[in-house]
Chain A
Amino acid sequence: MIKFVLMVNRQGQTRLSRYYQPVELGKRAALEADVVRGCLYRKKEECSFVEYKDFKLVYRHYASLYIVVGITESENELSVYELVHNFVEVLDKYFSRVVSPIMFNMDKVHIILDEMIQNGHVVETNHSRILAPLSALDTLAHS
């Protein structure tokens, strides 16, 4: 199962974090810093899977944003790799450019993430179905 999803920028600051297994607040900062250090300093030729303590990290790099997903041993890494890309595509579809609007619409990004991943497992991967409740919410807000 998926343990957590993190989005960090180049400087290592967390832009979005979502934990599917309870982690104490104090430990979160340390965990994030550690994870980010493991991923940020890898060169371009290195592979996207990192073994960290007793679980694995899958990370992808988009412009100035890094998306890091922590998964347990039993999960298929390539499948999670594709999932991250799917997530970015959905975000792209909703906002026109991925990077900066994300920061300012954190709650919407959370909603999208919740539609895709729930409780550590994948719920839905179809773009239109993921965005359906969000568009419903938008029309509700405008009306």
Chain B
Amino acid sequence: MSPSVRLQEMIRVIRSARTQGEERGVIQRECAAIRAQFRQADNGGRSHNLAKLLYVHMLGYPAHFGQMECVRLIASPRYNEKRVGYLGAMMLLDENQDASLLITNSIKNDLAHSSQYVQSLALCTLACMGSAEMCRDLAPEIDRLLRASSSYIKKKATLCAVHIVRKVPELGELFTPAARALLAEKNHGVLHGAVILITELCERNAQTLVQFREAVPELVHIMRGLVTSGYSPEHTVAGISDPFLQVRILRLLRILGRNNDTASDAMNDLLAQVATNTDSSKTAGSAVLYETVLTVMDIKSESGLRVLAVNILGRFLLNNDRNIRYISMTSLQKIVSTDHNAVQRHRGTIVDCLKDQDASVKRRALELSLALVSAINIRSMMKELLLFLSTCPPELKSHAASGIFNAAERYSPSQRWHIDTILHVLITAGADVRDETVPNLIQLITNASQLHCYTVHKLYRALVADISQQPLVQVACWCIGEYGDSLLQGDCEETEPIQVTEDDILDALETVLQSHMSSPATRGFALTATMKLSTRITENVDRIRSIVSIYGSCMDVELQQRAVEYNALFKKYDHMRAAVLEKMPVMDRSSMGQTNGESGGGGVQELEPTKPKQPEMMVAPQPASQVCDLLDLLSDPEEPSLPGGPLGPGGAPLGPAGLMSGSAGGDLLYLLGGLELTPTPTPATAPAAVTVYDKSGVVLKLSCERPLDASQTITLTATNTSDHDVSSLTLQAAVPKNVQLQMKAPSGDSLPARSSAVVTQTVLLNNPNKVSLKMRVRLSYTTS
């Protein structure tokens, strides 16, 4: 009686259990019965019992008491029992269990058995759970089987060899000659196994890789045979002969051809043939084409072939089958950095995929679209991306928002467009944007001085419409506070005029202050804005005074402190009020780069509640004697001033950690030695990259180019090879007085552990007086 019948009964009983508790009861009874039977030396029902036990094990119940039974069954001479015993061994035992040692001998005997089915059982089990010692013992046996046995055994032996190589890499050399010989086999199963074995050997050992490069012509020949052969009833799947083998061979060719010209040349023709002849109407064909494309991209192929590959991917994009579209976008993502122009041709289709139903396809399309944004297509792409942002699933929103910001920053055609885009994003996805957006936007607005009127009108309208999006509200409050007078004038040439009275503005700000949706930071913004308005408007100063004094007894300490100080401004220091609250100066980008995380200068300093600093409101605006920590480092004894506009009181708190992160991981600030660069009159040879910082795996390199004599471009590159993730990476720089410094935006601010990702930041120096150039760079980051 086959084990299945008894097993079937038990399965039926278990499945008919209606509750979890009933099922547990049934299983416990069965296990008890099985255990009792194991203890007796019962001959007939052993295999049934073990089969039942395996089913129970699969359901998740403990079954370790069956291990010894497996060992006993494996040693039995009957095929039935051996079969179930080996199956049990594969499922219940692994190399950590003691019982696995006991079956070593049985496996050894069975490998030499006369029946090939028994041999195959042993091979299978060894491949599944063989420990390193077992592998070492039995490796010569496996080698023997590889050379001289039936094809049924050979194919199993090859996969067993793969397992052995994985466990004991030194034995790879033992199998190399046998593997090479196996390539001459006709049987597809053996060929398949041989290709897998060679792949594994090449991946482990570079010398073996070089050896197997000579086998490339053979592989090409086999592949060609597969592609051009007609219908073969044994292996054809949907019109393609043995696609599994084709895919495997292509992958091996990829490994052999990487970084090697001769091997790649030998493959070019074959790849072109496969790419053109394979019928891609069914999935099997597409699978082969996909592998071909991956191979073409990876080896040193000629450009015609690469174009062909990208075109294949483009064709995939138009396919109806969603899986194929997903695959093609994944591959396009990998090659967009190297073959940018080729991928640009398919931009239209990719953008259409943003509207697909499937979440995975949407995510891929978003990443690809962000990678394809360039100066030429920025306007149309941004329209599509903004449309996507309003309809995209929530998990993609923050990624999309930050991607849009980066793109806008790099390629925006005009300031007004830039501001419009950022406002649009804040209105649609305000809750998901990063924190630095607010200060960045504020800085952008101050720089666009001719657009102040337009901006403040738009922001006011947005604020009145909706006060739930915190970043938007913060920016709006700040602008209203600064440019309230333009708002009151009412007319602005770029947008429809609306009549706004002082009461309206104060109403709006008061709503923000009182709403429970506003975060404490937002309230701070609103309070300061209200205060600033006291100098900009004429009639309702009393109302402002009363608002401010109410908040003097607010529960939030931050707000209370502000309110009390503002009150003092009204009472004792009224003469200073106008001077203190005058308009903010234009902030230069370089100062923004240095004060990363600092929002908008003076009044908004105290936003970070973690900073134990005193408020800077009382300090006079121009700190001539106020020393910036960074500039302090310069050896130049003259009065240091940052080129590019006075920092205002925003400069001082740069001192202890000018970063927003108060994380427990600890900010690590490292001051670097000064770097002296003397500009030579002759153009320099290839700019060398100097390592300026190298500690615990994080490396910062500096390289310079000199396009013109007076100005230089310096690139700072940071890489991370340590075991910890690096985040909030910022670079700050200072130069002597007569040199102008402009820092571009960094490419990113985080480096995952042990990766090859880099963060680069470009610094432009203008040295009109040709003084000797010195630069101090400060690098700050947080590690996990």
> Are the CB atoms of B127 and A119 closer together than 8 Å?
yes
> Are the CB atoms of A121 and B3 closer together than 8 Å?
no
Query: How far is A49 from B291 in the complex, measured between Cα atoms in Å?
Result: 16
State which of B7, B55, B60, B87 has its C-beta within 8 Å of the C-beta of A25.
B60
Q: Mark A23-45, 1 if CB is under 8 A from B, else 0.
A: 00100110000000000000101
- Whether A64 sits at the interface, judged by CB under 8 Å, is no
Say whether, besides A78-B327, A118-B127, A141-B2, A123 and B189 are in contact (CB < 8 Å): yes
User: What B residues does A14 contact at CB under 8 A?
Assistant: 58-59
- Whether A122 sits at the interface, judged by CB under 8 Å, is yes
> Are the CB atoms of A43 and B189 closer together than 8 Å?
no
> Are the CB atoms of A118 and B159 closer together than 8 Å?
yes
Query: How far is A79 from B289 in the complex, measured between Cα atoms in Å?
Result: 11
User: What B residues does A132 contact at CB under 8 A?
Assistant: 152
Q: How many residues of A contact B (CB 8 A)?
A: 49
How many whole Å from A42's CB to the nearest CB in chain B?
A: 8
Query: In chain B, what residue has the closest Cβ to A86?
Result: B237
Query: How far is A79 from B248 in the complex, measured between Cα atoms in Å?
Result: 10
Query: In chain A, what residue has the closest Cβ to B62?
Result: A25
User: What B residues does A110 contact at CB under 8 A?
Assistant: 87
User: What A residues does B55 contact at CB under 8 A?
Assistant: 106
Q: Mark B346-384, 1 if CB is under 8 A from A, else 0.
A: 000000000001111100000000000000000000000
State which of B193, B291, B358 has its C-beta within 8 Å of the C-beta of A46.
B358
User: What A residues does B244 contact at CB under 8 A?
Assistant: 79, 82-83, 122, 125
Query: In chain A, what residue has the closest Cβ to B47?
Result: A107
How many whole Å from B74's CB to the nearest CB in chain A?
A: 15
How many whole Å from A95's CB to the nearest CB in chain B?
A: 12
> Are the CB atoms of A43 and B357 closer together than 8 Å?
yes
- Whether A96 sits at the interface, judged by CB under 8 Å, is no
> Are the CB atoms of A82 and B8 closer together than 8 Å?
no
Query: In chain B, what residue has the closest Cβ to A50?
Result: B360
Q: How many residues of B contact A (CB 8 A)?
A: 65
How many whole Å from A33's CB to the nearest CB in chain B?
A: 10
Query: In chain B, what residue has the closest Cβ to A119?
Result: B127
> Are the CB atoms of B290 and A82 closer together than 8 Å?
no
- Whether A93 sits at the interface, judged by CB under 8 Å, is no
> Are the CB atoms of A76 and B360 closer together than 8 Å?
no
- Whether A88 sits at the interface, judged by CB under 8 Å, is no
Query: How far is A124 from B58 in the complex, measured between Cα atoms in Å?
Result: 25
Query: How far is A25 from B57 in the complex, measured between Cα atoms in Å?
Result: 9
18 A-B contact pairs sorted by A residue (CB < 8 Å):
A28-B60, A43-B357, A46-B357, A49-B360, A76-B251, A76-B287, A78-B286, A82-B283, A104-B11, A105-B8, A106-B11, A106-B54, A118-B127, A119-B163, A123-B189, A125-B235, A126-B234, A133-B120
Known: A82-B283, A104-B12, A106-B51. 16 other contacts (CB 8 A): A17-B58, A25-B62, A45-B322, A45-B357, A47-B360, A48-B323, A78-B324, A82-B243, A82-B284, A103-B11, A107-B83, A118-B124, A118-B156, A121-B196, A125-B242, A129-B189
